Amino acid sequence: DAKTTQPTSMDCAEGRAANLPCNHSTISGNEYVYWYRQIHSQGPQYIIHGLKNNETNEMASLIITEDRKSSTLILPHATLRDTAVYYCIVSPLIQGAQKLVFGQGTRLTINP
Amino acid sequence: DVKVTQSSRYLVKRTGEKVFLECVQDMDHENMFWYRQDPGLGLRLIYFSYDVKMKEKGDIPEGYSVSREKKERFSLILESASTNQTSMYLCASRGTAGTQYFGPGTRLLVL
């Protein structure tokens, strides 16, 4: 699996956009970028994923650079409930069982 | 929305007890997973199942077994609980596009 690099921690003001970067310079052509988050004492929550194109859903937007070596997760209007550890994962889309490997992630704190 | 439920949020057991952790998903997913999460060690895969009665060992299967008698239910069994199995246990179900949906977790304390 390709490795990812994320900042250890970030702060963002409530109501502002939170932009979480992720470097994945060794990503392979068949690997997707997935984002999950884990709020304290809860199970990880899927946020979004993408291959090449930018993606948006009701939770967030994912911007992937043209060379695919990095990406940014954008929470457009952060709330206090978005305080969590955010994990960027690269993995191929395969059939059968797929193991997710979570790194250390970015601890995002939303401040009032 | 996909829902993955786990039988208990918190559990306290004694050393040597047999422990059952149950997980149920409501999306007819074929693949289900059991992880444990410990501070500084991240998520580690214990077992996974890709169909009813089918299972494969993950990275740390020792001391654990699993059961998948029905598609929606995946059980983790600690045959004889030990203190080093104190952990947060997470069940996940895999949907389309490789996304995994996690349950709320069971925090197990073995005394």
Please give the average per-residue pLDDT across B28-53, as a whole number. 90
Structure tokens at A91: 């993995």
In chain A, % of residues over pLDDT 90: 76
Minimal-distance CA residue of chain B relative to A91: B98
pLDDT at A39: 94
Q: Which of B31, B45, B100 sits opposite A46 (nearest CB)?
A: B100
C-alpha B21: how far from chain center: 7
Structure tokens at B53: 């009665």
Please give the average per-residue pLDDT across B30-45, as a whole number. 90
Q: Do B94 and A98 touch (CB under 8 A)?
A: yes
Which residues, 6+ apart, have CB-to-CB distance to A58 below 8 Å? none
The answer to whether A97 faces chain B, any CB pair under 8 Å, is: yes
What is the nearest CA distance from B107 to chain A, expressed in angstroms? 9
Tens of pLDDT along A15-58?
Answer: 999 999 999 999 988 889 999 999 988 899 999 999 998 999 99
Cα separation of B47 and A54, whole Å? 33
What is the nearest CA distance from B3 to chain A, expressed in angstroms? 11
The residue whose two tokens read 């494969």 is B56
> What average pLDDT is seen over chain A?
91
Q: Which chain B residues have a beta carbon less than 8 Å from that of A104?
A: 42
Minimal-distance CA residue of chain B relative to A31: B98
